[in-house]
Amino acid sequence: MRLLFTMRIIGHGIDIVETARIERLIDQHGTRFLERCYGTNELAYAEGKRCRSEHLAGRFAAKEAVLKAMGTGLSGRIQWTDVLVLRKPDGQPFVTLTGEAQRIAQELQIDQWWISISHIATHATASAIAVATDG
């Protein structure tokens, strides 16, 4: 028996974030900013790294890219921590959604996220593609 399935691209989003902006927000708001925007695992990964703000900026860019791909941006009841950017053992990032973001993704039938992050000292960028699998 041959199993057939098709994949539909539901949306694509990109974003770019200045690392200095993240550093400013940390200086101004400290843990209040960090805990409002990042989950425990995201913070643990960046913590202690020489270029912590690059990793955090990359995750911030990825969160924005995901929200753009869903067509929402940060609106309604969505929170930054609804979009978590984690990593596989080889370093490849992946996304898990909770809360309102997860609800909207389900409504849009999104069941896969393809994301990519890149960063240098001054900027981080990310791209997110939302995919629905049929069949």
Ligand X SMILES: CC(C)(COP(=O)(O)OP(=O)(O)OC[C@H]1O[C@@H](n2cnc3c(N)ncnc32)[C@H](O)[C@@H]1OP(=O)(O)O)[C@@H](O)C(=O)NCCC(=O)NCCS
Among 17-25, 66-74, 101-109, 111-119, which window interacts with ligand X (CB under 6 A)? 111-119
22 near 60, Cβ under 8 Å?
A: yes
Total residues contacting ligand X by CB under 6 A comes to 10
Alpha helix segments (H runs only) across 3-135: 19-29, 31-37, 40-46, 52-69, 99-107
**Which residue from 105, 110, 117, 130 is in contact with ligand X, where contact means CB under 6 A?**
117
The binding track of 32-71 with respect to ligand X, each residue x by CB under 6 A or -, is -----------------------x--x-------------
47 near 31, Cβ under 8 Å?
A: no
- From the CB of 96, what's the least distance to ligand X, in Å? 14
Distances (CA, A) of 1 to 5, 111, 133: 13, 24, 19
Q: Please give the residues from 69 up to 108 whose contact with ligand X meets the rule CB under 6 A.
A: 87, 90-93
Distance from C-alpha of 89 to C-alpha of 5, rounded to nearest angstrom: 28
Q: Which is nearer to ligand X, 55 or 68 (CB)?
A: 55
Calculated CA dihedral for residues 15, 80, 75, 32, nearest 10 degrees: -110
Q: Find the residue with minimal CB distance to ligand X.
A: 91
Which residues bind to ligand X, rule: CB under 6 A? 55, 58, 87, 90-93, 117-119
